Amino acid sequence: MSDVGSGLIKLAYRGVAGFVVLLLMFVVGVTGTVLSFAGGIIIAISWIPLAYPEILSEVPILVIGTQGTTSPLIATAGLLLAGIVLMAIGFLFLVFTYFLGKGAIQIDKQLSSAVDRTFSGTDRISKLERLAVLREKGIITESEFEREKERILGPKEE
């Protein structure tokens, strides 16, 4: 297979795999951002039960069973804890998104290298076959054939 063929194979898997990874990273990243933002908002409003304790009689916060707490201190602590937990989970999602992207890059490099190794051998063979035909037809000399063969095969390892 030629360089064009291996290039098309790389393009195909990069297109499909890239789209899947991009979609996954988008979903996980947006989820992490939303969770972190929601946690921040909850932390930002956690002072309300302390400043306005009467709100606890109208808006149940930290419902246990059928009753909400009436203690402003417990409600504020619960809101702070809920906000911190949401932010932590959101940041974990964002860290996961980072490592997902980093891992995708490494896998792409490995797959690209594997495709190159797989098809470079057959490409070298086809180049050598074409050179042999040119030599047989007298278009290139024996020394030109040997020089091109060395270039295609690379330096000999000892």
**Token duo for residue 137:** 């037809």
The one-digit pLDDT tens for each residue of the chain (158 residues) are 456 666 777 778 778 888 888 999 999 999 999 999 999 999 999 999 889 888 887 877 766 656 667 788 888 888 999 999 999 999 999 999 999 999 988 888 887 777 776 666 566 777 888 889 999 999 999 999 999 888 888 766 55
Residue 113 in domain: yes
Number of domains in the chain: 1
* Residue 88: inside a domain: yes
Fill in the DSSP letter of residue 67.
B
- Which residue range is the domain that position 61 belongs to? 3-120
> Which residues, 6+ apart, have CB-to-CB distance to 139 below 8 Å?
none
Structural domain contains residue 144? no
Answer whether residue 138 is part of any domain. no
149 domain residue, yes or no: no
Report yes or no on 93 lying in a domain: yes
